[in-house]
Amino acid sequence: MTRQQLKNSGKLMKKTCMPKNDVTEEQVGEIEQGKFIEDRNVMCYMACIYTMMQVIKNGKLSPEAVMKQVDIMFPPEMKEPVKIAVENCKDVAKKYKDICETSYYASKCMYEFDPKNFFFP
């Protein structure tokens, strides 16, 4: 997939997860640009996206599942940098018991590590 195709596939997930978590485009529309709003609904929206991407296993964010999805979905030029970011941030998940917080802080870590290759619908 190209980055644009990746974005297009993310739109469907976004349409599903936004109403489920009562968030607005204003709250979640710029996550990919590094706008992380510390709000419970935003955090759970992010967990919803990860659930739809099938990277949450047994209530936990699975780095192995993320790597598989990166291989399947991401454009070739993004695969390696994104995997490095996942590897760098995988321990963030251990700091949080709650999947909403884990999803939020792991994403934020990956954005801060490599903003150019960060993707989030």
* pLDDT, tens only, 22-69: 999 999 999 999 999 999 999 999 999 999 999 999 899 999 999 999
pTM for the model: 0.93
The pLDDT value recorded for residue 97 is 86
pLDDT, tens digit, for every residue of 77-107? 999 999 999 999 999 988 998 999 999 999 9
CATH superfamily membership of 3-21+37-117:
Pheromone/general odorant binding protein domain (1.10.238.20)
Nearest to 98 by CA among 49, 44, 48, 52: 44
CB 92 within 8 A of CB 101: no
pLDDT, tens digit, for every residue of 8-21? 888 999 999 999 99
